[in-house]
Structure 1
Amino acid sequence: MGSSQSKAPPVSRPSPLLEQPWREVSEKYKDNLEFVKSYQPENEQVKHLRILLHGPIGAGKSSFINSVDTVLRGRSAGRAHTDAISGSSYTKQYKTFKFPKSPGVKYSFAFNDIMGLEQDFDSGINVNDLKLALRGHVKDGYKFNPDQVLMRGDDGYNSDPTLEDKVHVLVGVVPADAVSRLSDEMVKKIRNVRLAASELGIPQLAIITKVDEACPEVKKDTSNIYKSKYLKEKVEQFHQLLGLPKNCIFLVKNYNDEIESNDKINPAIVCALKQMVTYGEDYLNDQ
């Protein structure tokens, strides 16, 4: 009589997803979108709340601006130019992006795109130029030079900035798969900028981008963004690395391949945008 070989029971692997999202973004999506669309600064010195994005090259700063534009327009937008293969910062100029609300009318917040940070001392934006931007000393259209800091008297230097010219919210942008790989020099540069913003009382947030590239479950379904255990760990790592509170760190999937507005992508973008506007409004009210 032949012996029967018993099969081993299947291995039960833990799910990469939480049962419930650790941050809810979908339920309040419409309310959040209405909030940012109807926002008006109470401080009459300012027409547009200014949000400055900074971070390593290729982090998705310009793509986030395009993603916000896409959400607001309800269609694909690409005014902030991006490049996936150059290996250096594609953004060279200090440029303000305002978003059309209706003919001749803009929404009451604006983004500034800026040259990316690089690890080497002599490449990427100079941290001192970034500090000048925080204070409103960099004119729109100024072309950054890694080898030369902007100085008083230069064409791109704004010697008498108004409250409108100054930065009201600073947002760090880092790709999800780069959080654990940030070099000591890069962390030092980011913390240097954070310290300068803190001294000026400027509120700070961060967005972690390219979450779909880092997490297969999010690539399959973007609504899993705040269910992913892996991405939750990235938020914790970023919190430990740079000291930002976890409620100031947001996960975002930017528009890249999509040519239509997508209600699975939009809620996380709008959630982050609402907090940027809210924190910026608090700052303006303190001025």
Structure 2
Amino acid sequence: MGGAPSALLEQPWREVSEKYKDNLKFVKSYQPENKQVKHLRILLHGPVGAGKSSFINSVDSVLKCRSAGRALTNANSGSSFTRKYRTFKFHKNQESTYSFVFNDIMGFEHDSDRGVPVEDVKLALRGHVKEGYKFNPEKELKEGVDGYNSDPTLEDKVHVLVCVVPADTVSRLSDEMVEKMREVRLAASELGIPQVAILTRVDEACPEVKKDTKNIYKSKNLKEKVEKFHQRLGIPMNCIFLVKNYNQEIESNDKINAAIVCVLKQMLYFGEDFLEK
């Protein structure tokens, strides 16, 4: 008699650990070839509590080889903790920064009068949202209003759009939430902006990953969630990544880092392709 079927694949369906050090070296040395741009701009969007700010902190932790927490997060994710449009740069040292930045944005909520307005995210894609603008769920940003950038440069515009969704909620995403994300995705597609998706909280979605983070891409359960997300949003499978953000950990962890650096490298590749156009 055989035992219960394994929840893990024999081989990972995506390899992230073998090239971790090479990928990290690439990320740290990346420079945009387009001289109009000093920093490649990556915009994170998704539902409230998806882990957008936590992902920014996790990238900072990887680059610093220690726990970091500049992007404020909130354990109670009933409403968006991020209210303002803010650019996060990552410091190599006191004099210089890495050549990519993240923009965090207020999260989507199910109700139409809560969370970031979809039209504001579309404006951000085109570089029309000024640094520090405070989002108003009840009023879309308009031209002529304080916070509207009427003359964005290529540097102001978004070069990569990243959708962030918790892996443990993929099957429970409402039609309204999916529609908001699809609307933003369509706007980005029309602008030629490349898109990536990150499924966070993988340890909450799979007990085998909670036991050992190296099982991220061996988990049958997580692979099914990636396939489900691909079907609902239309994002290609090879553009959907699994990530465990730093939360309880206070020491750098190569297993966590490898998956984060894998998606980060892909963002830089896609962004560079966009800037070449």
TM-score tier (shorter): over 0.9
Partner of 1:207: helix, strand, or coil?
Answer: strand
Say which of 161, 183, 198 aligns to 2:174: 183
Does structure 1 retain, via aligned residues, the 8 Å contact 2:48–2:77? no
Structure 1 stretches of at least 4 aligned residues deviating more than 2 Å after TM superposition:
none
Residue type of the alignment partner of 1:165: D
Match of 1:209 in 2: 200
Match of 1:35 in 2: 26
The TM-score, its normalising length taken from structure 1, stands at 0.96
Partner of 2:255: helix, strand, or coil?
Answer: coil
Match of 2:5 in 1: 14
Say which of 266, 270, 273 aligns to 1:275: 266
Does structure 1 retain, via aligned residues, the 8 Å contact 2:49–2:77? no
The aligned runs of 1:1-287 (5 Å cut-off) are 12-286=3-277
Distance 2:233 2:77 in 1: 27
Partner of 1:81: helix, strand, or coil?
Answer: coil
Partner of 1:196: helix, strand, or coil?
Answer: helix
Match of 1:6 in 2: none
Distance 2:25 2:219 in 1: 27
Offset of residue 266 of structure 1: 0.4
Distance 1:210 1:263 in 2: 17
Distance 1:264 1:159 in 2: 43
Offset of residue 115 of structure 1: 0.1
Partner of 2:224: helix, strand, or coil?
Answer: helix
Total equivalences in the alignment: 277
Partner of 1:208: helix, strand, or coil?
Answer: strand
Distance 1:261 1:139 in 2: 34
Offset of residue 86 of structure 1: 4.5
Partner of 1:53: helix, strand, or coil?
Answer: strand
Partner of 2:76: helix, strand, or coil?
Answer: coil
Distance 2:240 2:193 in 1: 16
Does structure 1 retain, via aligned residues, the 8 Å contact 2:7–2:221? yes
Unaligned runs of 5+ in 1: 1-8
Offset of residue 79 of structure 1: 0.3
Residue type of the alignment partner of 1:104: E
Larger radius of gyration: 1
- Percent of residue pairs identical: 77
Does structure 1 retain, via aligned residues, the 8 Å contact 2:164–2:198? yes
When the two chains are superposed, the root-mean-square deviation of aligned CA atoms in Å is 0.7
